[in-house]
Chains A and B, each alone.
Chain A
Amino acid sequence: MGKIKLTKVAFAGTAEQEKQLKEKLAEIKQMEGALMPALQAAQEIYGYLPKEVQAIIAEELGISQEEVFGVATFYSQFTLNPQGKIQVSVCLGTACYVKGSGEVLDKFKSLLGIEEGECTADGKYSLVATRCIGCCGLAPVLTVNDKVYGKVSVSDVEKIIAENN
């Protein structure tokens, strides 16, 4: 089913994270509708909701794994993909889009080999499309972690990746 973006990044959760999650789950498992706070807590701890973590939630809450997954894929606030060490955010706000940020995003997709919302298998780069980030004068704009790049063109993309490698 191609509609859900699954990560290829290997799970690298620590024992400490698991302990934290299980403590939180023990605390909330008796309450009604514990699944939402459980997923929120898990995402806070791990940054995303990998399979291994959703399986723990299912086990601890005594519900099926698919029931967890159904909710995790329903709400856009939850993500199944980790954030890369280097996060590229391309603005697709009106001004940037009109100035060609769509093509810039496509160039990143093809060079990094991932779709928007995904992370490269080595966990290094992740790519997101954002709404207006508030500096339309520099359109098209993108950010790499905290660094802002303005008036970007498709031909700059390769250089930007190299600079941040």
Chain B
Amino acid sequence: MVNVIINGKSVSVPEGSTILEAARIAGIKIPTLCYLKDINAIGACRVCVVEVKGARSLVASCVYPVSEGMEIITNSPRVLKSRKTTVELILSDHEKKCLSCVRSKNCELQSLSKELGCDENHYDGAVNQFPLDLSTPYLIRDNNKCILCRRCVAACHDYQSVSVIGANARGFDTHIGTFFSQDLDKVPCVACGQCINVCPTGALREREEIDDVLAAINDKEKHVVFVTAPAVRVAIGEEFGYPVGTNTQGKMVAAIKKLGADRVYDVNMTADLTIMEEGYEFLHRLKNNGVLPMLTSCSPGWIKFVEHYYPEFIPNLSTCKSPQQMFGAVIKTYYAEKQGLDPKNIVVVSVMPCTAKKFEKGRDYQSASGVPDIDYVLTTRELARLIKREGIMFNQLEDEDFDPALGIGSTAGLIFGATGGVMEAALRTLREVLEGKSFENLDFKEVRGMKGIKEATYNIAGIDVKVAVASSLSNARTLLEKIKKGEADYHFIEIMTCPGGCVNGGGQPIRTAEERNNMDIPGLRAKAIYDTDAKSKLRKSHDNPVVKELYENYFGEPNSHKAHEILHTKYVKRGL
């Protein structure tokens, strides 16, 4: 331990702590802007500066280690003046169109400016002007609002190991861009949206589809079906003031009904269907010397990653569509037939914790009925915005259930929302199918939790099934490299693009760096999912009555010809 004095108060902190960490232990907050725990400690923005007795100049507390007897002042007039000047200089080259900015009231630059008493027009000088990057269906980059904190660059590099964005040019010309300033759709971006989640300002946002959805709802000809992903219900409440990790499924469903949707269904149902299709696909590969390890295919950022960076693993990917796409496909085939509707008049809106889903819906081989399976994808954030825009008072709504028929999902489907969930759901079903009996204890705890890579071996019907689970693409890369080198012989691998799984997806409510640095946000949201699962009566995908009905009356059996036509897809090599 090291003894230091912060603002006159003695405190003992672990050796190697930074001043920022030491201050937190002492209960003193130092503002930060570019700092993001674990991935971005670069001392670039100079907002976290403090005075250290004996030091020649102010030091950046996020990178400055403490030493024995160090005396630190975090709030002297000199410090406050420096911070204010720094932020005013940042503001001098920031497009201050704050009133309608998507991040207004949730902008770290805005809060800091207010906190420090800044004058946003103090420095009147040259201002950079950048065109917006509107090239992709999932993300908009507006460098006019970028403050060069490089948090997005760190997320792209550290979480996803793809580094398609970085700082280009120099000095006043510095901007975040891509290789040879190409549009984002021309570089191997995986569409994960983690860059949006870490952005302190409005420089990055999803490509909104709210207006299209409203137009569909107001079109009398259209039958509008909403489907919501597992992870949305445990996060959307945050947009309405609920604590992180609150499951507000009932209010979410009620709100969507108020928006005017004709039906609201639960993607947990097609998560169950995925388990059936993917489970049988796995068994087929296992019994017939098929390509192993089999890799899950639910996470579209991961699929894009394989197509760009590891095309040699395309044969390992399950051919199953993702639960989102399966739902769209089921609605526009089975449901359309049953309801006597023309698929062209059905609009399927999926609400996802994800930006890559906006890319996925436009992929080839995702149009089972001849028209795209999914019409619009709203992120969790967009749904919250839409609910607010329509004047629906979310917090006061009575809980409602998903619509009957397709609205039943098991909580094996629900746990898809957290890393390890797909694997656990698959194991619950595989074990019972192979051993021909049901089990009381359905927990596979080894694959749960926020660890980046998890490995386990389960003996199922006499076979040792080796499984691995990874979340974030840098962890996925580690696993793939191990397999390439022959250092691992897994049978079945679950990969989720975002660290912690969909609960931490690129379309989820944005939390400030302060919150990210001091709370386990993905862990809390995942806990809400597992708590719901623990209390559930329907915890196995193969017990879902809707799934049973679909196989009995429509698909025949898992992996049937019809199931292949409607529920499976193909992948393409994309190159770098």
Contact = CB atoms under 8 A, between A and B. Distances in A.
Q: Indicate whether A and B interact.
A: yes
B177 interface: yes
Contacts of B180: 6, 51, 54, 69
A1 B179 contact: no
Nearest to B576: A65
Contacts of B165: 66
A73 B171 CA distance: 11
Given A6-B180, A66-B179, A69-B180, A1 B164 contact: no
A61 B394 CA distance: 52
A33 interface: no
Contacts of B143: 1
B162 to A, nearest CB: 7
A65 B179 contact: yes
A64 interface: yes
B162 A70 contact: no
Interface string A1-20: 11110100000000000000
A132 B6 CA distance: 54
A3 B178 CA distance: 13
A69 B163 CA distance: 11
Interface in B161-186: 162-170, 173, 175, 177-181
A34 B157 CA distance: 19
A15 B68 CA distance: 60
Interface string A22-62: 00000000000000000000000000000100110000000
B166 A67 contact: yes
A1 B576 contact: no
Contacts of A51: 179-180
Contacts of B128: 3
B486 to A, nearest CB: 20
B462 interface: no
A66 B175 contact: no
Nearest to A51: B180
B130 A69 contact: no
Contacts of A1: 130-131, 143, 168, 175, 177, 181
A3 B131 CA distance: 11
Nearest to A71: B166
Contacts of A69: 166, 168, 178-180
A38 B245 CA distance: 49
Contacts of B58: none
B181 A6 contact: yes
A73 B187 contact: no
Contact of A64 (B130, B164, B167): B164
Contacts of A67: 163, 166
A51 B181 CA distance: 11
A3 B169 contact: yes
A66 B163 contact: yes
A66 B187 contact: yes
A70 B175 contact: no
Contact of A73 (B130, B131, B163, B170): B170
Contact of B167 (A6, A68, A70): A70
B175 A3 contact: yes
Nearest to A68: B179
A51 B180 CA distance: 7
Given A1-B143, A1-B177, A1-B181, A64 B168 contact: no
A75 B162 CA distance: 23
Nearest to B129: A2
A66 to B, nearest CB: 4
A4 B173 CA distance: 9
29 contacts: A1-B131, A1-B175, A1-B177, A1-B181, A2-B130, A3-B175, A4-B168, A4-B173, A4-B181, A6-B180, A6-B181, A54-B179, A64-B157, A64-B164, A64-B166, A64-B179, A65-B179, A65-B576, A66-B163, A66-B164, A66-B168, A66-B187, A68-B179, A69-B180, A70-B166, A70-B167, A70-B168, A75-B170, A76-B170
Interface of A: 1-4, 6, 51, 54-55, 63-70, 73-76
9 residue pairs, one from A and one from B, having the closest CB atoms: A64-B163, A65-B179, A70-B166, A3-B173, A66-B166, A66-B179, A1-B181, A69-B179, A73-B168
Given A1-B131, A1-B181, A69-B168, 9 more contacts: A3-B168, A4-B168, A6-B180, A64-B157, A65-B187, A66-B166, A66-B187, A69-B179, A73-B170
